[in-house]
Amino acid sequence: MAEKVLLKGNELLVEAAIEAGCRFFAGYPITPQNEVPETMSWRMPQAGGVFIQAESEIAAINMLFGASAAGARCMTSSSSPGISLKQEGISYITAAELPCLIVNMQRGGPGLGNIRAAQGDYFQAVKGGGHGDYRLIVLVPGTLPELYQLTMNAFDYADFYRNPVLILGDGILGQMAEPVELTPYEPILDLPPKDYVLDGCKGRPPRVVKTLYLHPTDSLVQHNLHLQEKYARIRRELNLYEEYETEDAELIVSAYGVPGRIAKGAVKMARREGIRAGLIRPLCVWPFPAAPFRKAAQTAGRFLVVEMSFGQYVEDVKLAIECRRPVAFLGKGGGWYPSQEEILEEIRRLSSKAQDPASVKGSV
C-alpha cells in the first residue's frame, strides 16, 4: 500500500481531478472552498492545464461550456450562493450534453447565509435548480477517501453519459483533513470517443453545439425525449450506497455526506446497546438508490433521516419506500451539525417506540 497523505478535502479534490486528467479549471473565490482555486492556481500549470480565476460564477461555468466543447476534462467549484449563480450555465451544458464536473461545498443559506457547513442545496442539486427538464448525476462522498475516488469517477461518468456531474459536499468535507492513499486513476467505464468536439472542421463537416431547438415544432420534444432516455439509462446503471447492519435492523438510519458518517457512528453506538439499528448511506443521490431502502422497508419498522437542513433528502427517502413506513426526521439548516449523541438519543427514543406496535401507525 502506498503512503497516505494528509490533505484538506478541498486540496484533495484538486489532486483527484488532475490525476483523472482534468486540465481546465475556472472558478471564483468563496468560503469554504477557497483552497480549491488556490491549489488549482499552481497545480494546474504544473500539470500543463489551464486555471482561470473568472470574473463571476456565471463566467466560470460558461468557460467550462467552452472548454468541454473543446474536448477537455474540466471542472469548477463553489459554495452555495455561487452554485446558484451557475444554474444558468448548468442548464445549457446539460442541454448541450457536455461533460464536466461541478463541486458544491455547501454552506448555510438561504441568501448569503453563513460559512458553516449545511445541506440546504439538496433540492437544487437533484430536482433541478436551473430551468428545464434536466438531471445532474449527484455524488455525495462522506469521507476523504470517497471524495478522492468519486472525484476521479465523476469524470468517467460525465464522459460516459455526456452529462455534468455534481459533487454535493459541504464545508466540513472541504475543510477537514483525513489520510488518503493517492491511488492512480483507472477508468471505470469504457469511454466513447468524443465525436462532438469543436476543434475546427478540418477533414469533416462543421459541427454545431447548441441548445436552441426552434424548428420543426416538435424538435425540442424529440431532444427532451432523448435526454429522458439517457436519464432512464443512468437510473438503471448507477447505484452507489453503503449499507451497514441492515439485515436484521428494526430501525434504519439514513443520511448522506458528512452526517452519513456521523450517523454510522451513532448506529454503532446503538448496536453496542443492543438496539437493532442499521444504516443506509447513499454515495449518489441522483439517481437515488431506492433499492436498498425498498428492501429494508420489508423488515425494518421505522426510518430515521438525519440531514443538515430542514428536510429535503428526507422526501426522497419517503418516496423510495413509498411512505410504507414512518420516517422520523432529525435536522436543521443554517449551520447546525448533528452529533453522534443526538442521533443516538433519537435512535433510542424511536426503538423503544418500535417495540410498542400502537405507536408505529402514524408517520412522524
Residues that bind other proteins (CB under 8 A): 4, 6, 23-24, 26, 31-32, 50, 52, 54-56, 58-60, 62-72, 74, 88-89, 92, 115, 171-172, 175-179, 198-203, 206-212, 214, 258, 261-266, 268-269, 337, 339-340
C-alpha span between 176 and 104 (Å, rounded): 15
* 3-class secondary-structure state, position 274: coil
Q: How far is the CB of 261 from other proteins (least distance, A)?
A: 5
* Of 60 and 354, CB closest to other proteins: 60
Q: How far is the CB of 359 from other proteins (least distance, A)?
A: 28
* Of 77 and 287, CB closest to other proteins: 77
Q: How far is the CB of 245 from other proteins (least distance, A)?
A: 13
Q: How far is the CB of 338 from other proteins (least distance, A)?
A: 8
* Of 199 and 237, CB closest to other proteins: 199
* Of 163 and 288, CB closest to other proteins: 163
* Of 339 and 363, CB closest to other proteins: 339
Nearby residues of 131 by Cβ (< 8 Å), 6 or more positions away: 87, 91
Nearest to 314 by CA among 302, 329, 324, 325: 329
* Of 208 and 358, CB closest to other proteins: 208
Which whole-number Å values give the CA distances from 148 to 12, 16, 32, 181, 194, in the listed order? 6, 5, 18, 9, 25
Which whole-number Å values give the CA distances from 58 to 33, 65, 81, 92, 243, in the listed order? 17, 11, 12, 12, 38
Identify whether the C-beta of residue 29 lies closer than 8 Å to the C-beta of residue 37.
yes
Nearest to 138 by CA among 94, 192, 197, 171: 94
C-alpha span between 111 and 131 (Å, rounded): 20
* Of 110 and 179, CB closest to other proteins: 179
Q: Cell numbers for 87, please give them.
A: 444554474
Q: What phi, psi does 17 have (nearest 5°)?
A: -65, -45
Omega of the bond prior to 259 within 30 degrees of 0, cis? no
C-alpha span between 40 and 234 (Å, rounded): 30
